[in-house]
Structure 1
Amino acid sequence: MRHLDLSLQLIPERAHATLDGLQKLGLGGVSIGLLLLVVSVMSGSTVQAGTGFGLVVFGALAYIVQTRNDGPPGIKNNFIMFSSIMSRGYLAWMAAVFMTGFYIILYFYPQHLKPLVVLVNPLQVWLSGSSAWDANGNMSQWFLYGFIYTVTILVMGVRALIKYRHSRYQILRTLSVMFFQLAFAFTIPNVLAKFNNGLYFEWANIWPLRYYELFPYSVEGLISSGGLGKFMLFWAVFSILILTPVLTYFFGKRWYCSWVCGCGGLAETLGDPFRQNSDKSLRAWKVERWMIHSVLVLVVVTTGLMWANHLYGGEILGTWSGRFSSGYGFLIHSIFAGVIGTGFYPVMGSRVWCRFGCPMAAVLGILQRFFSRFRITTNGGQCISCGNCSTYCEMGIDVRWYAQRGENIVRASCVGCGMCSAVCPRGVLNLENGPMNNRTGFQV
């Protein structure tokens, strides 16, 4: 027993000893870079902002690339429960405070990020043809937001590619979210805006996730913007009414949540180290179902009221029409999806928004639950009840409960990331698309 106690005391020290020189240098670069970014916010120095951002990116890449030398390919979750940053320790809470604070500043106090806006403005002018400052001198932070978001997914995507390099499914899935974020969520919208009088359209986001996409003023703006605007409107309607049901029928909600969506892309890359922190309790499951479907109802009602008010010449809501939509945008889109959805990764897991709030995930979940061929099949005779599948399910599903009984998993919340199958040491779980009458276990 004394030998066991001694070995447990040494585990955290062994975990830190695995870092090599380049990884330590990379961590040092990230630390100094973050410090310079904080200083640049207070001093207004663009040089410090650029140096800090560069150090963060290259330091992170230096650390990440060296992880390829951690042994043979295969998922390694060694010492996670002894890691302060990955098991809700003090470092995790510090990271949560930092990320939440950054989102609050970005959304509500962007003037403090002026050095970073100045830094990326030349790229914005070249890519989109417009500056971060309008004719009245007002500054927009949203290109900076998209730029940081994209760089984060690309950098942390490299980490995912190295960590899951043994799995063809995980490699393809990671490359997919990196591609859609870089191309369809960032580059293409900005380039099209350059050649179409600033008309910006997010091709990878579908209503109701992009809640204002089918509001009256958005529809009228697209119709009045020529052929491209009309095609964008067609795509917005087609993507939710035709594309979404068809693809979800054949592939489940994973085609969007784990392969296309930018929110899912950030969760699967930046949020991947924290996926084990998702709450697996029955209470969390009940809260999840009420919250996500309530947000879906809210966005449908909001869109309906906006149209009713528009068609009746403002007689229904009057001046409250704009306030109603702005209220939804502030509470759900900014606070829930942005500040909480991302800032709480280190303490609540990587899919806080996707699990509890995303209305698009709710739509896909309903379709997947009742009308999809997708399910995760299990072989109960092979299950050894290790619990890896449940531990690393970012959506809080108790996968082991199904595996022990040999029941197929057909859950509205499952995003088909495939991690439960990847971490299973016995090959019990498999992601499959098959006839609906072969499924069992219809519990949501």
Structure 2
Amino acid sequence: MVFGFSQYMRDALPNASFIGFTGTPIALEDKDTRSVFGDYVSIYDIQDAVDDGATVAIYYESRLAKLDLNHAEIERLSDQVEDIVEDEEDASNREKTKGEWSRLEKLVGAEPRIRQVASDLVGHFEARTESIDGKAMIVAMSREICVHLYDAIVELRPDWHDTDPSKGAIKIVMTGSASDRELLQPHIYNKQTRKRLEKRFKDNNDPLKLVIVRDMWLTGFDVPCCHTMYIDKPMKGHNLMQAIARVNRVFKNKPGGLVVDYIGIANELKQALKTYTDARGRGEPTLRAEEAFSVLLEKMDVVHGLFHGFDYSEFVDQAYKLLVPASNHILGLDDGKKRFLDAVLAINKAYSLCGTLDEAKELRAEIAFFSAIKAAISKFTYVDQIAGGHPTLKDGVCFGPPARLFW
């Protein structure tokens, strides 16, 4: 029998305390964190981290409804396979899982489906980056699917591609060797080049905005400006929890991370949550994007209330003409400036988390109008805290005590 280093340590120090530290507790029949280390001594959970500002919340959005290919079969096979085949310790189970994984891989990697995912993903990412600056990761099932998905994306956006590793907006990051298929060779880099890609991806000002991976960069890899993860690979348990944590790092005004599901990991997220809450943790691994949409609607109602008695229904065609009178209406309300600015700030934050939902897209023009009013009020009015009165805007000029001219 072969013993590991931990066993030698236990034999050498039989009376020592055995303490573990983890952010992703495991609770399986043959692997259980508490059965090895004992009960929890101290818990710092998801809610604590968010409350302290150490991380941001993670939101979940399913895009399965946008795809119409082999849903039932993909879901059936996904339920049967392990998230990472190499984790299987039993040889017979490993071979069985590999067979099921191969069948699922053929369905997921089918050309019509790849094209659908690529088309939806490109549109989603572009809409996402309109409301929040940053980067995204794409997780695919195999290296071959990574390449096919890359090809489908650059077919839609040729300017994203560049053969030079130091240029281009999209790259594949994976391991490989000279013996790999020709299909993979253009995307296999040596260790030094991968380090340069890592540096590029961590730099928010670098044009590299999208990376496609299979296993790399999913654990222990921090990129604060990464705000979205597209998952098209069966994952579960602690592997899933560690992967989605790539998007919960704090960065500038980043309101939250977003996990976009193309393969159906909702049940796995629920199971991961059960394991986490069984460990007495507070806060969900992910919140649904619909929850952010509910907040958006709530804050929109607040602004609608502020505009009671003022008709701005022609804002789509008459936005410029309505900007000044709308601003003056808000400035004429008791504490109107602060109430309006706070509400619009909350609207923009919520929209950045749910703006890719179809129902949220319908509000985009109205939100842009509110944001224009917010910019005008913020930039061109200054209220003297000593004197009283309401400032107003007129023909591009701020009038009325105690206003100051800034336009």
TM-score category of the 2 structures, normalised to the smaller one: under 0.3
**Higher strand fraction (1 or 2):** 2
More relative contact order, 1 or 2 (CA 8 Å, 6+ apart): 2
User: If the length of structure 2 is used for normalisation, what is the TM-score?
Assistant: 0.26
**Higher helix fraction (1 or 2):** 1
User: If the length of structure 1 is used for normalisation, what is the TM-score?
Assistant: 0.24
